[in-house]
């Protein structure tokens, strides 16, 4: 709604409109449409009956009038309480405009001065000696007043409330500034609109302000424009989000700049201009007002629509009095912006009006994984691969079938992974354990990775020891040269590692996909959420255009400017990031046209070839950008782009597809057998050292517990030798414990760890070095001495071997009971070694769960249901994700008369499966349906 500029006319217009809505509508309805002819049953049965249509229209009009009246009453109550209304009603914004214009447009008499209020506020005026603000006030006589820099959405009412302690003192501010010429040339008049960037005089008792001739209490919020700067970049760097570029524009619009020019368009900045920055959100509004959506600018004395809570106290005067955010002569070899902390779930999308330039984002420290075979990827990709491996293990354990009573059980063989995949998993493990953010089990790792937030940034490469990322929204990048294909593979896989149908939609022409990833891409594509293969480049562009049309309709329906704002307002709306990746050697004119609108619709494009509208980079064989042309040329030149060779990319694709249901060949008995550890004979006599490793690790020497937590590598060495009873040579040990070190240095570390381990075991045993043979050496092989150390893992393997070779049910049951007695939990519970999970922990978990299921079946066969249930419960405790174990326990509870417990466990199982996003097995579904059927 557009109001007259004069305050009195504004008040009259608002009062007239309010009277017309409140009194005019019911007057017209009662005069011309009363009494109401209610339709009869016959009228309702007749299509298009005028009396029915008239009754419906009258009902709609009366309902709208009632809602508007209610909104007016709510706003009036808010004005009386001096607090904005928290009730959200239809037509409330219109009611707020009318009530505000009526109640606070006119200027009230000046109130008498009051004492200093208790609450203090932080105000940050421009204090530079070259600022137009100070120049404007230089010729004015020095008075006993303080100054305040107007921020966006400020009103005289809110300024008086914050800095004078009483909103009713706003007439004093109006009187002090009446007739003053503001920096943009306007003259202040009582009741006029406030403009961001104006400098107001406040009474002398105002708090949180600056006095003429004194230094301000806080750092000036200014920015000197550097070449290549945009308002979006400046807002993102200083205010935390690029969406606030409009606040900077409003604050500096028409302000005189060095050279006599003025800022009139958001997209036109000149180097050397000095821009005043608004305050951050936590300074502008308190927690209560942050919950409400801000409306359009208010009148100068708006009491109801812009009433912020008291901001934080002013910082101490010890801070420097001035600070320039960016030098006017920027360093060309460093990125301009600081990278956000969360690069995967943020939403720094580009606004539609104006469309900001694409800008590079830099991370403060490199997070790069160098792969065997020449690949290099970001650490975020390693996290996606680690989640995929955990999901694959979780799926295999969940689908485990119960063995028959006479079926021999073996240790499953871990699926061999290429060295590059192992390197990615190791990098993720080292990062999470080093930062203390590592998941304790596969279930936690997989479920913690679930999110519907689309990726906002694309990790592109590194330069000057910084990781470079580009916003996906509006990305328009072309790669050419001998290293471009490896980089395109890396870009596609970087998104696929974190994609699902609601997070990313990668559009890839099938011929290009086959050329970059091989023919197997057609088989894998069905198990790679987020990857969309289309027939040709034209089909890919058509799909992108269809998405633009759909998203334009969504933006219009939700009254938003871009997809980023729509995601914030409607987080439940599935709006994946769109990225077109294709080979286009000479560019495509229509694609260039679409990319001009891509930022607003959350889309981007990366092509192999040249782009006339975006940035084109030439990639040499070592994957360095040698030449660049376009908006990002200066930032990307000499950068090393992430890349993956063909074989490594295929292995990564297979890993991701397997995590999303790519069928695996079930291991046969012959493939499982090599994983069984040959049983070592039991120690003769009573060993001095007992090492319990199946469950939480416990080391006892002569009955005394030895704590190796302070000797981490000694404990890891002891654990490694325990899972390899035949022993390992020094090179093998160093490859497990110190894979990143040089062989010589790793050898020194090994001998130091071995010395620590022997000393820790020898001291409680009161033995000298020669007599303490806990760790033996035979030639080049180191192993645990079986005569002096008893390891429960070895006893467990002996029991599993006895169960496999038993010829009678009694012998098998006895061996399996031994397994159940030795199993206190997962292998080395609480220890997180990258070599332990994949190769030892989860294979032993599967073998032990199978043994417990077989033990339960044997007891069921003999009629001992109670003992069978205990075996099934132990299997569930050991691995809650084995669906067969949970189903067996639930099935057995019913004949034992514990139906309520069975139903409770069934609900818990269903909840766990739902959390993983998987459907129950047919047998489980039947059992759940039977339990839900009333008896």
| Number of domains present in the structure of the chain | 5
Cα angle for residues 310, 314, 319 (degrees, 5° grid):
160
- Other C-beta atoms within 10 Å of 709: how many? 7
The reply to whether 146 and 242 lie within a common domain is yes
Concatenating the DSSP letter of every residue in 216-254 gives: -SS---EEE--TT--HHHHHHHHHS-GGGHHHHHHHHBT
Classify residue 268 by burial, with Cβ atoms within 10 Å: 0-12, 13-18, 19+.
Answer: exposed
> What does the chain come to in residues?
935
CATH classification of the domain holding 623: 3.40.50.300
Q: Can you read off the two tokens belonging to residue 630?
A: 């376009």
The reply to whether 600 and 465 lie within a common domain is yes
The reply to whether 249 and 380 lie within a common domain is no
Residue where the block lists tokens 């092989």: 781
Instruction: Among 104, 120, 148, give the residue marking a domain's end.
Output: 104
CATH classification of the domain holding 763: 1.10.10.10
pLDDT tens per residue, range 859-911: 999 999 999 999 999 999 999 989 999 999 999 988 888 888 999 999 999 99
Distance CA 456, CA 241 (A): 13
Cis peptide preceding 354, ω within 30 of 0? yes
Percent above pLDDT 90 for the chain: 28
Residue 902, in any domain of the structure: yes
Distance of CA 201 to the CA centre of its chain: 45
Bridge partners of 451, per DSSP, are: none
The reply to whether 812 and 856 lie within a common domain is no
The reply to whether 222 and 166 lie within a common domain is yes
Pick from 310-319, 498-507, 806-815 the range whose average pLDDT is largest. 806-815
CB 256 within 8 A of CB 284: no
pLDDT tens per residue, range 247-266: 888 888 877 777 667 788 77
What local confidence, expressed as pLDDT, does residue 191 receive?
55
Distance CA 688, CA 25 (A): 97
Q: Can you read off the two tokens belonging to residue 270?
A: 């000149």
Residue 599, in any domain of the structure: yes
Q: Which of 396, 405, 398, 401 lies closest to 816 in space, CA to CA?
A: 405
The reply to whether 706 and 842 lie within a common domain is no
What local confidence, expressed as pLDDT, does residue 47 receive?
60
CB-based burial, 480-515: b 16+ in 10 Å, e otherwise: bbebbbbbbbbbbbbbbbbbbebbbbbbbbbebbee
CB 889 within 8 A of CB 849: no
pLDDT tens per residue, range 118-172: 333 333 333 333 333 333 433 444 446 788 888 776 778 778 878 887 776 777 8
Q: Quick one: which H or E segment has residue 609?
A: strand 603-609
pLDDT tens per residue, range 506-526: 999 999 999 999 999 999 998
Residue 237, in any domain of the structure: yes
The reply to whether 683 and 607 lie within a common domain is no
What local confidence, expressed as pLDDT, does residue 868 receive?
93
What local confidence, expressed as pLDDT, does residue 149 receive?
84
Q: Which of 173, 195, 174, 171 lies closest to 185 in space, CA to CA?
A: 195
Helix, strand or coil, per DSSP, at residue 863 = coil
Helix, strand or coil, per DSSP, at residue 686 = coil
Residue 353, in any domain of the structure: no
> How much is the mean pLDDT over the chain?
77
CA within 13 Å, CB half, 86: 6
Cis peptide preceding 35, ω within 30 of 0? yes
- Other C-beta atoms within 10 Å of 364: how many? 11
What local confidence, expressed as pLDDT, does residue 365 receive?
43
Q: Beta strand 775-778 with 781-784: parallel, antiparallel or unpaired?
A: antiparallel
What distance, in Å, lies between the first and last C-alpha atoms of the chain?
65
Instruction: Among 255, 290, 325, give the residue marking a domain's end.
Output: 290
Which DSSP symbol is given to 841?
A: I
Q: Which of 141, 153, 156, 163 lies closest to 188 in space, CA to CA?
A: 156
The reply to whether 461 and 483 lie within a common domain is yes
pLDDT tens per residue, range 328-383: 333 333 333 333 333 333 333 333 334 444 444 444 345 789 998 889 999 989 99
Gyration radius from the chain CA atoms: 36
Residue 862, in any domain of the structure: yes
What local confidence, expressed as pLDDT, does residue 303 receive?
34
Distance of CA 242 to the CA centre of its chain: 18
Residue 766, in any domain of the structure: yes
Q: Kindly state the average pLDDT of the residues 742-751.
A: 89
The reply to whether 603 and 744 lie within a common domain is no
* Model confidence band, residue 274 (pLDDT cutoffs 50, 70, 90): confident
What local confidence, expressed as pLDDT, does residue 440 receive?
63
The reply to whether 660 and 783 lie within a common domain is no
Distance CA 803, CA 843 (A): 17
* Model confidence band, residue 470 (pLDDT cutoffs 50, 70, 90): very high
Distance CA 735, CA 525 (A): 35
CB 564 within 8 A of CB 473: yes
The reply to whether 417 and 492 lie within a common domain is no
Cα-based torsion angle of the residue sequence 695, 699, 705, 706 in order, rounded to the nearest 10 degrees: -130
The reply to whether 660 and 512 lie within a common domain is yes
197's CB contacts (< 8 A; 6+ apart) are: 149, 150, 182, 183, 184, 250, 251, 252, 253, 255, 276
Sign of CA dihedral 635, 640, 642, 645: positive
Residue 249, in any domain of the structure: yes
Helix, strand or coil, per DSSP, at residue 275 = strand
Helix, strand or coil, per DSSP, at residue 176 = helix
Helix, strand or coil, per DSSP, at residue 466 = strand
What local confidence, expressed as pLDDT, does residue 429 receive?
82
Distance CA 60, CA 868 (A): 68
- Tell me the whole-structure pTM to 2 decimals: 0.60
Q: Which of 508, 567, 502 lies closest to 350 in space, CA to CA?
A: 567
Distance CA 429, CA 833 (A): 8
Q: Beta strand 531-534 with 376-378: parallel, antiparallel or unpaired?
A: unpaired
Instruction: Among 664, 688, 709, give the residue marking a domain's end.
Output: 664
What local confidence, expressed as pLDDT, does residue 645 receive?
95
pLDDT tens per residue, range 517-561: 999 999 999 899 889 999 999 999 999 999 999 999 888 888 888
Q: Kindly state the average pLDDT of the residues 620-645.
A: 92
CB 258 within 8 A of CB 273: yes
Bridge partners of 476, per DSSP, are: 605
What local confidence, expressed as pLDDT, does residue 716 receive?
92
What local confidence, expressed as pLDDT, does residue 542 receive?
93
Cα-based torsion angle of the residue sequence 551, 557, 563, 565 in order, rounded to the nearest 10 degrees: 180
Lowest-pLDDT choice from 195-204, 335-344, 669-678: 335-344
What domain range includes position 281? 132-290
* Model confidence band, residue 306 (pLDDT cutoffs 50, 70, 90): very low
Residue 121, in any domain of the structure: no
Bridge partners of 263, per DSSP, are: 253
Q: Can you read off the two tokens belonging to residue 847?
A: 């073998």
Classify residue 871 by burial, with Cβ atoms within 10 Å: 0-12, 13-18, 19+.
Answer: buried
Residue 482 in this model has a pLDDT that exceeds 70: yes
Q: Kindly state the average pLDDT of the residues 431-435.
A: 70
């Amino acid at each position: 709604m557009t109001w007259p500029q004069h305050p009195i006319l504004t008040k009259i217009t608002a009062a007239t409109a309010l009277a017309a809505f409140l009194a005019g509508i019911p007057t017209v309805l009662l005069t011309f449409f009363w009494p109401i002819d209610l339709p009869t049953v016959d009228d309702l049965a007749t299509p298009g009956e005028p009396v029915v249509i008239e009754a419906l229209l009258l009902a709609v009009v009366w309902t709208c009038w009632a809602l508007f009246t209610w909104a007016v009453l709510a706003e009036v109550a808010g004005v009386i309480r001096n607090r904005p209304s928290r009730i959200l009603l239809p037509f409330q914004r219109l009611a707020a405009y009318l009530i505000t214009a009526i109640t606070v447009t006119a200027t009230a008499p000046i109130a008498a001065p009051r004492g200093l209020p208790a609450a203090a506020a932080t105000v940050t005026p421009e204090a530079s000696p070259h600022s137009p603000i100070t120049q404007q006030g230089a010729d004015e006589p020095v008075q006993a007043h303080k100054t305040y820099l107007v921020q966006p959405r400020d009103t005289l009412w809110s300024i008086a409330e914050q800095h004078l302690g009483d909103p009713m003192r706003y007439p004093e501010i109006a009187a002090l500034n009446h007739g003053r010429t503001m920096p943009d040339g306007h003259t202040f008049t009582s009741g006029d609109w406030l403009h961001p960037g104006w400098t107001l005089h406040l009474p002398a008792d105002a708090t949180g302000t600056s006095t003429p001739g004194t230094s301000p209490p806080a750092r000036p919020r200014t920015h000197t424009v550097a070449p290549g700067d945009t308002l979006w970049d400046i807002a993102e760097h200083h205010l935390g989000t690029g969406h606030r570029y409009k606040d900077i524009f409003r604050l500096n619009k028409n302000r005189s700049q060095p050279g006599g020019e003025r800022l009139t368009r958001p997209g036109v900045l000149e180097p050397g201009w000095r821009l005043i920055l608004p305050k951050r959100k936590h300074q502008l509004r308190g927690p209560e007002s942050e919950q409400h959506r801000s409306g359009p600018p208010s009148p100068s004395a708006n009491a109801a629509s812009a009433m912020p809570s008291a901001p934080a106290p002013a910082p101490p005067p010890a801070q420097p009095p001035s600070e320039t955010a960016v030098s006017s002569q920027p360093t060309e070899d460093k990125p301009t912006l600081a990278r956000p902390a969360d690069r995967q779930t943020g939403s720094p999308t580009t606004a539609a009006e104006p469309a900001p330039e694409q800008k590079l984002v830099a991370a403060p420290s490199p997070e790069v994984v160098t792969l065997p075979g020449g690949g290099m990827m970001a650490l975020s990709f390693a996290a996606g691969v680690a989640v995929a491996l955990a999901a694959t293990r979780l799926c295999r354990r969940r689908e485990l079938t119960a063995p028959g009573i006479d079926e021999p059980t073996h240790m499953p063989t871990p699926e061999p992974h290429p060295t590059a995949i192992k390197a990615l998993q190791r990098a993720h493990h080292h990062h999470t354990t080093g930062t203390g953010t590592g998941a304790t089990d596969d279930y936690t790792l997989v479920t913690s990775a679930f999110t519907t937030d689309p990726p906002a940034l694309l990790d592109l490469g590194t330069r000057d020891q910084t990781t470079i990322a580009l916003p996906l929204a509006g990305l328009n990048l072309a790669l050419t040269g001998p290293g471009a294909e490896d980089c395109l593979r890396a870009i596609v896989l970087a998104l696929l590692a974190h994609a699902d149908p609601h997070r990313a939609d990668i559009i890839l022409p099938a011929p290009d996909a086959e050329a970059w990833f091989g023919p197997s891409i057609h088989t894998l594509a069905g198990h790679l959420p987020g990857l969309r293969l289309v027939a040709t480049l034209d089909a890919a562009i058509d799909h992108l255009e269809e998405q633009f049309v759909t998203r334009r309709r969504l933006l219009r329906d939700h009254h938003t400017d871009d997809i980023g704002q729509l995601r914030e307002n409607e987080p439940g709306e599935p709006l994946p990031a769109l990225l077109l990746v294709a080979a286009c050697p000479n560019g495509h004119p229509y694609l260039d046209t679409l990319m001009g609108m891509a930022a607003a619709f959350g889309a981007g494009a990366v092509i192999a070839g040249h782009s006339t509208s975006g940035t084109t980079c030439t990639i040499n064989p070592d994957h360095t950008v040698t030449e660049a042309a376009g908006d990002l040329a200066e930032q990307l030149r000499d950068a090393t782009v992430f890349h993956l060779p063909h074989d490594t990319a295929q292995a990564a694709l297979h890993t991701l597809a397997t995590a999303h249901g790519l069928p695996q060949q079930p291991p046969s008995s012959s493939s499982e057998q090599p994983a069984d550890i040959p049983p070592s004979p039991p120690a003769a006599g009573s060993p001095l050292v007992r090492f319990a490793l199946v469950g939480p690790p416990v080391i006892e020497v002569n009955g005394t517990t030895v704590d190796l937590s302070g000797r981490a590598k000694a404990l890891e060495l002891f654990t490694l030798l325990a899972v390899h009873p035949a022993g390992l040579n020094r090179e093998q040990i160093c490859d497990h414990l110190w894979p990143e070190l040089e062989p010589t240095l790793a050898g020194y570390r090994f001998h130091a760890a071995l010395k620590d381990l022997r000393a820790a075991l020898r001291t409680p045993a009161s033995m000298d070095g020669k007599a303490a043979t806990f760790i033996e050496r035979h030639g080049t092989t180191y192993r645990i001495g079986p005569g002096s150390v008893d390891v429960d893992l070895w006893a467990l393997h002996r029991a599993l071997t006895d169960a496999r070779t038993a010829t009678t049910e009694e012998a098998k049951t006895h061996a399996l009971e031994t397994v159940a007695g030795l199993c206190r939990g997962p292998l080395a519970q609480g220890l997180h070694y990258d070599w332990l999970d994949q190769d030892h922990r989860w294979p032993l978990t599967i073998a032990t769960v199978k043994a417990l299921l077989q033990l339960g079946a044997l007891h069921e066969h003999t009629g001992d249901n109670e003992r069978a249930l205990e075996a099934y419960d132990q299997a569930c405790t050991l691995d809650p994700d084995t669906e067969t174990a949970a189903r067996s326990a639930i099935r057995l509870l019913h004949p034992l008369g514990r139906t309520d417990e069975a139903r409770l466990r069934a609900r818990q199982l269903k909840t766990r499966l739902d959390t993983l996003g998987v459907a129950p097995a047919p047998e489980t579904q039947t059992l759940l349906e039977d339990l839900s059927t009333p008896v």
